[in-house]
């Protein structure tokens, strides 16, 4: 997930997303939390949480979260960052910056994104579960990693609130 903006855009995450958090082995948040209580709640409910701060996150969140997070999942090299710049040229910029990575999860735009950069870097943006902006639905993503490979990437639209 990314761009939750709780409590400014919504009082809480949708119940469907909380159910996914409770069931997941790993939860990613690509920034723009806005308030620390959501970080506290996700830390408490997630089996494992990897998050970064975004441009709307203040000093408290920036003290607790990195700008870029990197982990390895069974050989799959994953990076998380909030902002990647404009859509035009995104794949090339990200391939240059994250060339040692297999998967980059990012946020900021509130627009779902799924593409592959030169060299094979997969770029995923889950959109926002609370602030759809110009999109038809609020969204989040789920994915599976099997034998070090990313499989079963699914974009989930949420019902209107």
Instruction: Write out the residue range of the structural domain in which residue 138 sits.
Output: 15-158
**DSSP codes, 130-146:** S--TTSSSEEEEEEEEE
In a domain, 58, yes or no: yes
In a domain, 10, yes or no: no
In a domain, 139, yes or no: yes
In a domain, 144, yes or no: yes
In a domain, 5, yes or no: no
State the CATH number of the domain containing residue 136: 3.60.21.10
Predicted structure pTM score: 0.97
In a domain, 100, yes or no: yes
How many domains, the chain?
1
pLDDT, position 9: 86
In order along its 161 residues, the chain shows pLDDT tens digits of 999 999 998 899 999 999 999 999 999 999 999 999 999 999 999 999 999 999 999 999 999 999 999 999 999 999 999 999 999 999 999 999 999 999 999 999 999 999 999 999 999 999 999 999 889 999 999 999 999 999 999 999 999 87
């Amino acid at each position: 997930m990314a761009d939750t903006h709780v409590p400014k855009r919504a009082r809480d995450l949708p119940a469907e997303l909380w159910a996914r958090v409770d069931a997941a082995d790993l939860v990613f948040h690509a920034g723009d939390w806005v308030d620390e209580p959501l970080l506290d709640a996700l830390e408490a409910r997630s089996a494992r949480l990897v998050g970064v701060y975004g441009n709307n996150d203040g000093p408290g969140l920036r003290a607790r979260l990195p700008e870029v997070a990197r982990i390895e999942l069974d050989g799959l090299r994953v990076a998380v960052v909030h902002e990647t710049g404009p859509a035009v040229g995104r794949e090339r910029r990200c391939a240059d910056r994250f060339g040692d990575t297999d998967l980059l999860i990012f946020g900021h735009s509130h627009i779902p994104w799924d593409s592959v950069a030169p060299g094979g870097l997969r770029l995923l943006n889950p959109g926002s579960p609370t602030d759809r902006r110009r999109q038809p639905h609020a969204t989040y993503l789920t994915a599976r990693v099997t034998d070090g490979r990313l499989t079963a990437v699914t974009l989930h639209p949420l019902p209107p609130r």
